[in-house]
Structure 1
Amino acid sequence: MQIVTDSGADLSESQRKGLAIHYAPLRITLSGKTYEGENELSGEEFYKLLSETEDYPMTSQASAGDFAKIYQNLAKKGEKILSVHISSGLSGTLNSAKVGAAMVPEADVTFWDTKTLSAAQGWQVQAAAIAAKKGWSLERILERLTLIRDQVTGMFTLKEMRYLIHGGRVSHLKGLMASVLNIKPVITVDIASGKYATAAQTVTFKRAIAQIVELNTEKYGSQKLRTQIVQGLCPDGIEFLKQKMSERLDCFFEETVPVAPALGAHTGPSLTGLISGPMSLFADLL
């Protein structure tokens, strides 16, 4: 079985190594230049460029044609395809994938809505790929993905609101008030709708990070956690978050990765986030 996903899924190179994962490209336009996929613009390069310009980036999701090309190539191998995607509540990518599959009737494609993004999506992609490599049935893989989707949490915060305002994620008035009052949101993705939701609001960036830790403590308690910090370009946020999580919870930390430009384009380089879930969900898949 082959796994197809999109650029919303954050995984380090070591997490992807040896796995049959195929990425449909995200296109980013910044300062008049368009980049296609990670090969042309890595996450690190994207945030560096973003921090050096006043321009706002534009993103365009993978097209139906992009997916059709991937499915056609994989169908030639005669293998089943599991297509695992960024939340349909945040992007039209899953719909594009379905349209693309309809263009390749010989491809046997099953679709999965992760209802999330970033490393939370990446973990589902990685789990599916490892399980497929182990020979799990499609039904068993989907059962495990359901558990991961239901129990893994992603929370994000940021220092500045201007990218959220520009991208229409918050109204200009609300964003201006938040900026003036120094309010920092803790953003998550609602499991039911797959849309962005505000988990908390507080003043100062460090308090927002502390709130992420508090919310994780309330949710997971003494469980052994798998965690992964994602960021734009915010080393102080990473270190503070890791320190506070280590003080309060029993954590296994995956390698920190740049958050997907699909999200970062709307939040800016100050974004800092945490993906977390029970380690027991992955005991036989890592």
Structure 2
Amino acid sequence: MPVRIVTDSTADLSPQLAQKLGITVVPVYVRFGHDSYRDGIDISREEFYKRLVTSQVHPTTSQPTPADFTEVYRKLAKETDKIVSIHVSGKLSGTCNSALQGKEMLNAKCDIDVIDSESVTMGLGLITLAAARLAASGSNLQKVTNEAKQAISETHLLGLFDTLKYLLLGGRIGRAKALLGGILNVKPILTLRDGELHPVGNVRTRVKGIERLSDFVKNALGIQELAVVHTTTPDEASTLKDRFSSLVDSSRLHLAQLGPALGVHSGPGLLAVVLRKKSTGKDESTSGRKIHVPSLHLPKVNLPHR
């Protein structure tokens, strides 16, 4: 029986792509006050961002419950006895813990590997796609799991925030920093490092920020898959994606919309690039060209836990 792949909606995979590769996506929850919605099922991304800017209540998100995962695993266990479940960084969310608890609650003979991607949005998405393609080729559980873990070390992200407003509303930065950022029109740039989001710099204009994203990609060697992610600017993201058309095959170049889990902190206007480097077959810590970003002593950003 083929290995089946599970991820969560923070991967920002399109329904079409997930269906094509047989990926089961477990939705996170979005809450506006007392109203709760399943990401991508009860509320669309477009509706979420519309409500984000108009609602008097700032939304929160929470991971799927263990019971949600048990239900998914039970359904899949009717058609397979091997599952690889890949999820958003455990340092950003409790989703992996929910998946592990869901696995323990399952009363069925099924081997389930739960993997912490140490990533989010299309970083998680690219890792999941790598595993799904290998699973579709008929590879066994160990090979699919190893492929996912290898992809983790090869995946890198850089994101441009358009405003500090939503980081303030989410309690991730102080009011003075947000006010100063607004006065100076500062736009922060963040990356993922060891499973956590870290600010790595600021730019004064959006144009300069987009150039930083473009340079980040063009200075990387051996890209095998690439994604451009946006919250509310699809045309701008599409234009940036077109810049990279000569760097990677069109089937490995993606455009995605950021989901609520990080969108509650980024707000409208976020633009990010995520890339997966080609494997060198060696430990990347000691060989190959590394992708470097500056390190600043600034507060880390965490996704809300249930």
Q: TM-score, normalised by structure 1?
A: 0.86
2:208 matches 1:207: yes
Which moved further from structure 2: 110-119 or 129-138?
129-138
- Tell me if the contact between 2:224 and 2:248 (Cα under 8 Å) persists in the aligned partners: yes
User: Which residue matches 1:176?
Assistant: 179
- Return 5+ residue gaps in structure 1 as ranges: 282-286
Deviation for aligned residue 1:105:
4.5
1:236-263 deviation digits (Å, cap 9, x = unpaired): 64256346556xx724453422112111
- Tell me if the contact between 1:114 and 1:121 (Cα under 8 Å) persists in the aligned partners: yes
1:207-256 deviation digits (Å, cap 9, x = unpaired): 122112223333x14x355321111112464256346556xx72445342
TM alignment of 1:143-182, pairs within 5 A = 143-182=146-185
| 159 and 89 in structure 1: CA distance in 2 versus 1, 3 angstrom threshold | same
In structure 2, which of residues 38, 47, 50 is the aligned counterpart of residue 48 of structure 1?
Answer: 50
Secondary structure of the residue aligned to 2:126 is helix
2:36 matches 1:37: no
Distance 1:23 1:180 in 2: 41
User: Which residue matches 1:73?
Assistant: 75
Distance 1:130 1:261 in 2: 26
| 78 and 144 in structure 1: CA distance in 2 versus 1, 3 angstrom threshold | closer
Distance 1:274 1:83 in 2: 24
Amino acid corresponding to residue 45 of structure 2 in structure 1: G
User: Which residue matches 2:196?
Assistant: 195
Identity %: 30
- Over the aligned positions, Cα root-mean-square deviation in angstroms equals 2.4
Which moved further from structure 2: 173-182 or 44-53?
44-53
Deviation for aligned residue 1:195:
0.6
Deviation for aligned residue 1:90:
0.6
Distance 1:72 1:239 in 2: 39
| 77 and 154 in structure 1: CA distance in 2 versus 1, 3 angstrom threshold | same
| 185 and 244 in structure 1: CA distance in 2 versus 1, 3 angstrom threshold | farther
Deviation for aligned residue 1:272:
1.1
User: Which residue matches 1:142?
Assistant: 145
TM alignment of 1:198-237, pairs within 5 A = 198-218=199-219, 220-221=220-221, 223-224=222-223, 226-235=225-234, 237=236
Q: TM-score, normalised by structure 2?
A: 0.81
Tell me how many residue pairs correspond in the alignment.
275
2:247 matches 1:250: yes
Secondary structure of the residue aligned to 2:275 is strand
TM alignment of 1:52-67, pairs within 5 A = 52-67=54-69
Deviation for aligned residue 1:52:
3.7
| 63 and 183 in structure 1: CA distance in 2 versus 1, 3 angstrom threshold | same
Amino acid corresponding to residue 202 of structure 1 in structure 2: V
Which moved further from structure 2: 9-18 or 128-137?
9-18
User: Which residue matches 1:284?
Assistant: none
Deviation for aligned residue 1:32:
5.3
Distance 1:169 1:62 in 2: 22
Secondary structure of the residue aligned to 1:17 is helix
Higher helix share: 1
Distance 2:20 2:240 in 1: 30
Secondary structure of the residue aligned to 2:41 is helix
